[in-house]
Every structure is written in C-alpha cells, then in structure tokens.
Amino acid sequence: MNDTGSVTIEAALALSSLVLVGALMVSGLVTLADYIAAVDAAGAAARAHAIGIEYTPPRGTVDIAHDGELVRAVAKVPSPLGTMEAEAVYPAEKP
C-alpha cells in the first residue's frame, strides 16, 4: 500500500477545519456585538423619542410606536449570521 501524500492531505483537511471553526467563532462574536448594538440603539431611540428628540441610529433601522403612555422602539441591525433585533420600552414624558 502506498501512503505517499496521505499526511499532506490530512494536514490540509485539519487546517481547513481549524480555519472554518475560527471563522465561525469570529462570526459568532461579531453577531453578539451586533445584538448588543441593537439593544443599545433600541434603548437610546426609545429614550430620545420619549423626551421629544429625534434619534438616528449609527447602524441599522429603528421603528418607533406609541403604546398609550409608553414609547416602544424596535431596532434591527444586520450581522453576519442574520439580522439582530431588540426592543425597548420607555415611559413618555408629560409636557
């Protein structure tokens, strides 16, 4: 049996697997950071809208809705593993 080159193939498969796992780990961390950014944007938008200030998120979009005396903000931020969405509710300020 001729095993010439089998070590090279095994090394290539092992290294490509490690690169794939590393890329998935980095994508997961970036997605987590994007979720935190969505939570921050939703909270900031709800607070700003509750006191009457216009808010533009640095990334993604924010949808504002009034629910009685509450301001509800839903932020959507794109990320490598899908769109991260977060919601925040803040009481509206009375004039």
pLDDT tens digit string along 23-82?
Answer: 999 999 999 999 999 999 999 999 999 998 999 999 999 999 998 899 999 999 999 999
Look at residue 67 in the predicted model and tell me its pLDDT.
84
52: region left, alpha or beta (phi > 0 left; psi from -120 to 50 alpha): left
Q: What predicted TM-score, i.e. pTM, was given to this entire model?
A: 0.81
Backbone angles phi, psi at 58, to 5 degrees: -65, -30
**95 pLDDT above the threshold of 70:** no
Q: What is the pLDDT of residue 68?
A: 85
pLDDT of 94 reads 76
| H-type alpha helices, the chain | 6-50
